[in-house]
Structure 1
Amino acid sequence: MQIFIDTADELEVRHWSRYGVVDGVTTNPSLLLAQRWTRLQNGVVRLANAIHPRPLSVEVFADEDHEMLAQARTFAGWADNIVIKVPVIDGDGRPLLEVVHRLESEGVRVNCTACMSFGQAALAAKAGATYVSLLAGRIDDEGNDGSGVVGQTCSWLRDWGMPSRVIAGSIRAPRDVQRLAAAGVHVITVPPPILTKLVDHRYSRATSAQFTRDGQQAFGQVLIDVG
C-alpha cells in the first residue's frame, strides 16, 4: 500500500518526505486556494519539485471538455511527475470519461476523482485512468460502505488484470486508514493531521520516556565510570 499526502502545503510535503513514508501528493483547487497559491504554476511547480520524482495530482477546473483538455496539457507540461485529476462526472452529471480517455491516449496520466461507486470506478478504469479515486469518507457519509466499495473495486481490477490503481480519499480518522488497508487498497491519500495521529500514541510516548530515563540512570553512570 502506498501513502499519498493530501495537501498543497509545501512545508508539509517536505516534512513528511524526509520521513520516507510518502509516495506521492494529491491536491485539489480547494487545497491550493487554502494555501493562497494564486500564481498556480509557481505553486504547482514548487510542490512537484518537493515530491519529485513521485506523483503530484493537480485537478482541472474548467467547465467544457476542450477547456479541460487544454488545462490538463498545460499543467502536465509544468513537471514530469504531474498527474491530472479529472472528475468522473461534472456538476450536472455529465460523464467526463472522454476527457480521461483522450488524455491517457496522449500519454498524460489521469487520476479520475470524485468516484463514489463501483460503477463509476469501473468505468474510469475502463476509460484508461492511471488512478481511480474513491472518496471513501463521503461514501460512508451517505450511509454506504466506503471500504467495501474500495475492496470490491480492487478485487475486480485484480481479477481482470487491469492496471488502474485505486486511491482511497476523504480520510477522516486513523481508523479509516486501517480499514482501507485491510480492504486491499493500492493507495490512501491522507491529510497531514491524520498522518500525525497515525504516528503518535500516548503509551509510546510514555514508554519511550521511561526507557530514556532508565537508560540514562543505569548506563550513563557506567559510561562515567569507564571514562
Structure 2
Amino acid sequence: MKIFLDSANIDEINNIARYGILDGITTNPSILSKEVDDNNDTAGIINNIIKHVNGEVHIQVTSDEYDTILKQAMKIHSLGLNVIVKIPVTQNGMAAMASLRSRGIKINATTIFTPLQALAAAKNNAEYSTVYLSSIDDSGNSSYKVIQTIRTMFNNYNMKTKIMGAAIKNPVQIIECGMAGVDAVTAPYGVLKQMLDHPETLMNVNRFINDWNLIPQNSKTFFNQ
C-alpha cells in the first residue's frame, strides 16, 4: 500500500520522508492556502514541493468550470512526469476527465463518497479514485463498507484505477484501508506520526536503555572495539 502525506509544509514533508515510508504528497487548495504568506506564493510552494519530493505529487485544480479545469490540468501536468492532476468528481470534472483521458494525463479523481462515483472515475481511466473516509463516517455511513464495495467492483471488472483513502483522522482508518485492499492512503502529518508510535514500544526501549546503563562503564566494551 502506498502512503502519501496530505500536506504542503516542507518541514512536515522532510520529517516524514526520513522514516522511509513516504511514496508521495497530496495537496488541495485548502492545504496550499495554509502555507501562503508574504514570503511564499502558490507557485513557489508547489515548485518547492516538487523539488523536495522523491515520488508522486498530486496537485488539485481550483475551479469547477469545464474550460478552466482543462487549462489548469494542462498547467499542472506540465510540471513533471511525477505530477498527478487532482480533479473533483463533479459533472464538469468528469467531463474534463473524459477530454483529458486521450492526452495521457494522469488524473486523481477526488472527493469521492460513493461506489458509483468511483466507478465513473475508473471508466475515465483515472489513475486514482480518492475516497473521503471520515466525511463518509461523519454522515452516518460506513467508509469501510464503501471502500470494500469499490474494491469488489474494480476487481470484478479488472479495472486498473487505484483506490486511495483520504480524509483520514486516525491510524485505524489506515488499517481498515489495508484490510479492504486499498492501493494507497493519504493522511495528515499527525496521523502518519502516530503510525510509528505506541506507548509500549517507548516503554520497552526505555527499559533496554536503562538496563544497558546499569552495566559498569569498563564492561561496555562491545561498541568501543
Q: Distance in 2 between the 1:103 and 1:137 partners?
A: 29
The corresponding residue for 1:81 is 82
The corresponding residue for 1:162 is 159
TM-score between the two structures when normalised by the length of structure 1: 0.91
- For the residue of structure 1 that corresponds to 2:181, the secondary structure is coil
TM-score between the two structures when normalised by the length of structure 2: 0.92
In 2 relative to 1, CA 6–127 (structure 1 residues): closer, same or farther, beyond 3 Å?
Answer: same
The corresponding residue for 1:3 is 3
Gaps of 5+ in 2: none
Deviations 1:163-213 (A, max 9, x none): 100000110112111122111111011100011112111121111011011
Q: Distance in 2 between the 1:62 and 1:96 partners?
A: 9
Residue number among 180, 196, 201 corresponding to 2:198 in the alignment: 201
Sequence identity of aligned pairs in percent? 26
Residue number among 45, 48, 51 corresponding to 2:47 in the alignment: 45
Gaps of 5+ in 1: none
Taking only aligned residues, the RMSD between alpha carbons, in angstroms, comes to 1.9
The corresponding residue for 1:18 is 18
In 2 relative to 1, CA 63–96 (structure 1 residues): closer, same or farther, beyond 3 Å?
Answer: closer
Shift of 1:96: 2.0
Deviations 1:108-148 (A, max 9, x none): 11000001000000111111110000101111111111011
Q: Distance in 2 between the 1:102 and 1:220 partners?
A: 71
Q: Distance in 1 between the 2:8 and 2:221 partners?
A: 49
Q: Distance in 1 between the 2:221 and 2:58 partners?
A: 54
The corresponding residue for 1:182 is 179
Which of structure 1's runs of 4+ aligned residues deviate more than 4 A? 224-227
Q: Distance in 2 between the 1:134 and 1:29 partners?
A: 17
Moved more, 143-152 or 213-222: 213-222
Do 1:41 and 1:78's aligned partners in 2 also have CA atoms closer than 8 Å? Answer: no
Q: Distance in 2 between the 1:101 and 1:111 partners?
A: 13
In 2 relative to 1, CA 191–218 (structure 1 residues): closer, same or farther, beyond 3 Å?
Answer: same
In 2 relative to 1, CA 220–203 (structure 1 residues): closer, same or farther, beyond 3 Å?
Answer: farther
